[in-house]
Amino acid sequence: MKLYNLELSGNCYKVRLLAALTRIPLENVPMNLADGEHRTAWFTSLNPFQEVPVLVDGETVLRDSQAILVYLGGQLTDRTWWPEDSAAQAEIVQWLSVAASEVRDGPNTARLIRKFGYDHSMEQALLVTRRLLPLLDQHLTTHDWFALNRPTIADCALFPYLALAHEGGVDVTPFSALTHWIDRVRALPGFVPMPGVDR
Ligand X SMILES: N[C@@H](CCC(=O)N[C@@H](CS)C(=O)NCC(=O)O)C(=O)O
Question: Which residues of the chain form contacts with ligand X (CB under 6 A)?
Answer: 6, 9, 11, 33, 38, 51-53, 64-66, 100
Q: Find the shortest distance in angstroms from Cβ 101 to ligand X.
A: 10
Nearer to ligand X among residue 6 and residue 175 (C-beta): 6
Give me the DSSP letters along the chain. Answer: -EEEE-TT-HHHHHHHHHHHHTT---EEEE--TTTTGGGSHHHHHH-TT--S-EEEETTEEEESHHHHHHHHHHH-SSTTSS-S-HHHHHHHHHHHHHIIIIIIIIIIHHHHHHHH---S-HHHHHHHHHHHHHHHHHHHHH-SSSSTTS--HHHHHHHHHHHTGGGGT---TT-HHHHHHHHHHHTSTT---BTTB--
Q: Which residue is nearest to ligand X (CB)?
A: 51
Q: Which is nearer to ligand X, 22 or 65 (CB)?
A: 65
CB-wise, 64 or 137, nearer to ligand X? Answer: 64
CB closer to ligand X, 111 vs 136: 111
Q: How far is the CB of 65 from ligand X (least distance, A)?
A: 4
Report, in Å, the least distance between residue 141 CB and ligand X: 27
Nearest distance, CB of residue 187 and ligand X, angstroms: 25
Distance (Å, rounded) from C-alpha 28 to C-alpha 113? 27
- Report the residue number, 13 or 175, with the smaller CB distance to ligand X: 13
CB of 60 to ligand X, least distance (A): 16
**Non-local CB neighbours of 167 within 8 Å, separated by 6+ positions:** 111, 114, 115, 196
SS3 60: strand
Nearer to ligand X, 51 or 137 (CB): 51
Minimum CB distance to ligand X, residue 149 (Å): 25
